[in-house]
């Protein structure tokens, strides 16, 4: 639409006013007396004009500046601005003039096959320049997404001649998207629709016998999505808390306690930083390195014990305890004495073998060194050669019982290596007694034992290592096989409030770390979308001055890390919330696309206006009055802000979040049977349910 391409006859027919004032944020326009007042018929197709949030064009040397109408009104002037004749004979009376304000959005350029939008404005009009109403083709080009992968239709634009609105999933999910709106505004249907319409669009592009290789993981706190994706291409896995053995159509939700890191353990136990947290980390490190295990095999116990001795003597050697100042050598001698007694105990349980001989050699060496430091006035210091000999003998015995130097590489307390929760608690208790800190661990141990014995929680966090990390990732993230197109719905509605934030935090962290490691291993991204419903409950703002490791804060921090770094590894966020003012500002600021349904609360509206990236003028002022299924799409996935009439989902595909049917129940059209006994039995975990929770 360069000046040389302009048909001036068409331009005159489409002109509806002239520029009256210009600023970077607002352009004021004086409408002609003959400008349309309701419907424009001169565009080739009847077009609603003028309408708030409608579009106009201002031709310039770059093409045409796109403006969105933000205000329409009447101002009075002494004379009517008529063209073609002068008004010298008129009496000086006020005359109504129609005016409007527009917000500049971008540049519409003409191409061989139509028009293309260029975001941003670098050429503003001058006072007196013409303002024209766009043709039907131009209107479609304004809302039409020219991206190569923009193949997902989400609805139509009622203010752009009902032109279809398509989006590019790379931009929508790759840079995070927030779907915001009050209850009943169509927010949940939009979330379900974005997933379903994406998979339907992919299905149209691949061979009929194949499924989309897509991964959506939906964290559903209200249990709305369990039947939403019935009949969709690919595999749909549903996880929830089971109350009986039937489990028709879903699997038991499992987020084992051994998957938790030290911060998550500290938060759930409310461990203090001075004494409890260091002991908790030490116990976790022992579990990860399998230093303390309950095993029927004496050989395994001996190997683990010798591995502990090797680690301990390396630490003592690096600290210089065997030859340091008193009483450090004496303390080291007493430690060796305990080692020697434990080894004698093991020898009493071992049969004659080559391994036993190496352990006897170690025992004889320790006995000799202890005898040299006995008597009335013993000298406790050791020589470096003696310490090296102890270390060598321990290593020989360790290898004799099946150990290797690779086993000695200490693992972090945060590595997700399986262990039994009851063993962990017992070891922590023993650790407290050994360090004479039992009185500081009583409350922490009580919380742990209560949590692990609660059947509501144990069915989720588990006390046994009955699922490996590989199995967990294959179940919740997906496999690399013929059933690779997967949607994972995690129903959190029955997860106890005590652990729900930890469960969500652990799942988000493990999924993110797995996606990170996939890229590191294969140098490729594994595109995955993590969907968080009712996000304000799990990604809430918190006081940064408070250093407390609360479960809700850890949950928010897990998603903040994904929001900031997920794009680099192929993990996108789809957040849904009815209270954006309660969301973490860090996460909301990282969302590059917004789908805004009706928002009534002033704080929510003001916060959204601060975070959105485009120069929107007053388009967001329409948020309080948007009807159901109407939404404003803006941000990275939309060429310009667009009012969208979202596609309608079939009733059976909608999330189970409809309003309660008070009238139908009151009038008896729908029956409701009540059996509180069944509910109470399940609630109190009585009868058959008690063993299956």
What tens digit of pLDDT does each residue of 343-371 get? Answer: 888 888 888 777 788 888 999 999 999 88
Token pair for residue 221?
């706190």
Q: Exposed, middle or buried by CB within 10 Å (0-12, 13-18, 19+), for 576?
A: buried
- CA–CA separation, 621 and 42 (whole Å): 30
The per-residue pLDDT for 149 is 84
The confidence score (pLDDT) of residue 234 equals 72
Q: What is the spatial distance between Cα 190 and Cα 192, in angstroms, rounded to a whole number? A: 5
pLDDT, position 558 = 95
Q: By percentage, how much of the chain surpasses pLDDT 70? A: 86
Query: What residues of the chain score a pLDDT lower than 70?
Result: 1-12, 41-44, 78-95, 233, 243-248, 290-297, 405-411, 434-436, 463-465, 480-485, 546-547, 611-618, 658-659, 682-693
Q: Read off the tokens for 128.
A: 């007196």
In sequence order, the 6+-apart residues with CB closer than 8 A to the CB of 207 are none
**What's the pLDDT at 420?**
85
Residue among 331, 363, 361 at smallest CA distance from 345: 363
What per-residue confidence (pLDDT) applies to 318?
82
Residue of 556, 564, 563 lying closest to 583 (CA atoms):
556
Please tell me the predicted confidence (pLDDT) of residue 92.
53
pTM: 0.78
Tally the residues of the chain. 693
Cα separation of 627 and 184, whole Å?
A: 10
Task: Count other C-beta atoms under 10 Å from residue 117's C-beta.
Answer: 20
CA nearest to 107, candidates 159, 167, 66: 66
Residue 650, classified by CB atoms within 10 Å of its CB into exposed (0-12), middle (13-18) or buried (19+), is: exposed
Instruction: Provide the 10 A C-beta neighbour count for residue 615.
Output: 17
pLDDT of residue 597: 92
* Pair 154, 194: CB distance under 8 Å: yes
Q: Tell me, what's the pLDDT at 314?
A: 81
């Amino acid at each position: 639409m360069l000046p040389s391409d302009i048909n001036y006859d068409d331009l005159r027919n489409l002109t509806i006013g002239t520029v009256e004032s210009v600023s970077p944020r607002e352009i004021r326009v004086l409408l002609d007396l003959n400008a349309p007042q309701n419907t424009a018929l001169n565009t080739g197709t009847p077009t609603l004009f003028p309408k708030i949030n409608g579009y106009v064009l201002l031709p310039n040397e770059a093409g045409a500046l796109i403006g969105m109408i933000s205000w329409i009104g009447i101002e009075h002037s002494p004379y009517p601005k008529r063209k073609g004749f002068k008004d010298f004979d008129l009496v000086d009376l006020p005359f109504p003039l129609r005016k409007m304000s527009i917000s500049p959005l971008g540049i519409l350029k003409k191409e061989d096959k139509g028009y293309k939008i260029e975001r941003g404005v670098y050429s503003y009009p001058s006072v007196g320049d013409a303002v024209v109403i766009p043709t039907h083709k131009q209107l479609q080009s304004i809302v039409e997404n020219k991206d190569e992968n923009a193949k997902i239709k989400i609805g139509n634009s009622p203010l752009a001649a009902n032109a279809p609105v398509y989006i590019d999933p790379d931009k929508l999910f790759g840079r995070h998207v927030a779907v915001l709106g009050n209850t009943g505004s169509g927010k949940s249907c939009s979330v379900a629709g974005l997933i379903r319409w994406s998979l339907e669009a992919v299905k149209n592009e691949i061979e009929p016998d194949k499924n989309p290789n897509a991964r959506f993981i939906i964290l559903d706190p209200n249990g709305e999505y369990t039947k939403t994706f019935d009949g969709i291409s690919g595999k749909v896995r549903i996880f929830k808390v089971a109350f009986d053995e039937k489990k028709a159509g879903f699997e038991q939700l499992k987020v084992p306690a051994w998957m938790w890191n030290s911060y998550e353990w500290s938060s759930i136990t409310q461990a203090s930083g001075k004494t409890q947290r260091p002991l908790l980390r030490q116990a976790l490190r022992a579990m990860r390195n399998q230093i303390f295990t309950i095993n029927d095999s004496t050989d395994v116990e001996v190997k683990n014990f010798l591995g502990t001795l090797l680690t301990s003597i390396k630490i003592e050697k690096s600290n210089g305890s065997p030859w340091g100042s008193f009483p450090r050598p004496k303390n080291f001698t007493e430690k060796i004495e305990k080692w020697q007694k434990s080894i004698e105990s093991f020898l009493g349980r071992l049969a004659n073998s080559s391994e036993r001989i190496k352990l006897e050699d170690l025992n004889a060496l320790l006995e000799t060194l202890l005898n040299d430091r006995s008597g009335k006035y013993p000298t406790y210091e050791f020589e470096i050669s003696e310490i090296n000999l102890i270390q060598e003998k321990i290593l020989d015995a360790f290898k004799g019982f099946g150990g290797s130097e690779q086993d000695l590489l200490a693992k972090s307390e945060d590595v997700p290596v399986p262990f039994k929760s009851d063993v962990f608690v017992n070891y922590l208790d023993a650790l407290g007694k050994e360090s004479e800190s039992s009185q500081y661990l009583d409350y922490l141990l009580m919380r742990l034992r209560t949590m692990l014995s609660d059947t509501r929680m144990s069915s989720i966090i588990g006390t046994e290592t009955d699922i490996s990390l590989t199995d967990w990732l294959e179940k919740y993230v997906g496999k690399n096989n013929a059933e690779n197109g997967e949607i994972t719905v995690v129903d959190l509605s029955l997860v106890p409030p005590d652990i729900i934030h930890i469960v969500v935090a652990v799942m988000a962290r493990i999924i993110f770390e797995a996606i990170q490691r996939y890229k590191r291993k294969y140098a490729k991204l594994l595109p995955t979308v993590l969907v968080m419903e009712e996000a304000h409950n799990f990604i809430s703002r918190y006081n940064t001055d408070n250093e407390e490791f609360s479960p809700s804060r850890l949950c928010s921090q897990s998603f903040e890390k994904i929001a900031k770094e997920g794009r680099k590894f192929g993990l996108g966020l789809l957040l849904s919330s009815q209270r954006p003012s309660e969301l973490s500002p860090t996460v909301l600021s990282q969302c590059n696309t917004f789908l805004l349904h009706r928002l009534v609360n002033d704080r929510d509206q003001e916060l959204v206006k601060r975070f959105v990236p485009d120069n929107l003028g007053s388009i967001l002022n329409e948020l309080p009055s948007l009807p159901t299924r109407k939404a404003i799409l803006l941000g990275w996935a939309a060429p310009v802000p667009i009012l969208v009439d979202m596609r309608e989902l079939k009733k059976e595909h909608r999330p189970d979040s409809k309003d309660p049917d008070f009238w139908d129940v009151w009038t008896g059209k729908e029956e409701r049977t009540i059996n509180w006994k069944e509910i109470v039995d399940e609630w109190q975990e009585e009868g058959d349910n008690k063993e299956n929770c």
